[in-house]
Amino acid sequence: MNGSKRQQPPLRPRPTKVFGVQDVRWQPVWVLRLLFAERYGVEVVFPSMCAIAAWLALWDDAVCKGLIKREPEALLSLGDPGTLDLATRFDLLREFVAAYGQGSWRGFHIEIDQLQRLADPDLAPVIRESWADGPINDDVRHLLVRMVWLGPVPDCADLVQSVAFDTTWSVADRIVAIRALVACDRDEVVRQIVDDMLAQPELWPDEIIWGVAGDLFPKLLTVDELVTLMEQTPEPPNIVGGFGWTSLKIVEALDACCKTAVSLRDKLSTLIWKGRATKQDFYDIRGSFNTAVPQEIRMRRT
């Protein structure tokens, strides 16, 4: 001993912990072992750790890549896709399509706000690549069509145009496809759809007409055309849905004093009177278009 002080090792900040797991910046290997595993030759995410993995993926590339490789839907539904860079979003969509593009419906429920965070016009190349000859799995179909709508992605408008007219696709997907065309400013194509609905309503399920009328009016659907669709499209037996609900949303969005609202109010009055039953009881006033009565009254009171 020469009397000098013993040299101390440099001080290091203590690792933080997240839900009892050490920060991935300190011991990434241990964290990955807590999140991921291999069972019977299949790489999996521990079910109890899916939400934590999706959260840690926000800043750790190893966790993000591991989660995308094993369960891309977890990052979509439990993470924050809006924080991902474009290259990572490309990988996420590719892995989702590769994992679930074939086979039957799997029942994924990804909230629309999550898809809104993921969607971006610059995703057009990977959407077109993933589309190929047309995805088979319903979950992948839902995802890709909604990406074009929420982006919006004008460069993929031709893809959703084919969906809008294709009767083999589900009603829900065709509704979203028409909304995507509206969002992508494909007015000429949407006008073709409106003309076809008016000329050949039997080729368009009632649910599609109810579902898109509010998106088309008043820019791409006139008052007369809206009333014509209401007249030729039967209402559903339940009290929620149909033009009873759609017309309510339309009226709520209109300025009651504008010319369009006044014209719509007068046309609805004529339609209600036209559809009245021949025989009436004072205690039970019946008609074919009673669902339009609250909207007509609302506009008169405003």
pTM of the model: 0.83
pLDDT in tens, 232-289: 998 887 767 789 889 989 998 988 889 999 999 999 999 988 888 777 776 677 777 8
Structure confidence at residue 295 (pLDDT) = 82
Q: How many CB atoms lie within 10 A of CB 27?
A: 13
Structure confidence at residue 107 (pLDDT) = 78
How far apart are the two ends of the chain, measured CA to CA in Å? 95
Alpha helices (H) in 19-85, listed in sequence order: 28-35, 50-56, 61-70, 72-78
Asked if the model's pLDDT at residue 5 lies above 70, the reply is no
Structure confidence at residue 24 (pLDDT) = 42
Asked if the model's pLDDT at residue 12 lies above 70, the reply is no
pLDDT in tens, 111-136: 999 999 999 999 999 999 999 876 77
pLDDT in tens, 48-67: 999 999 999 988 898 999 99
Tokens standing for residue 240: 């929620």
Q: Report the mean per-residue pLDDT for the chain.
A: 86
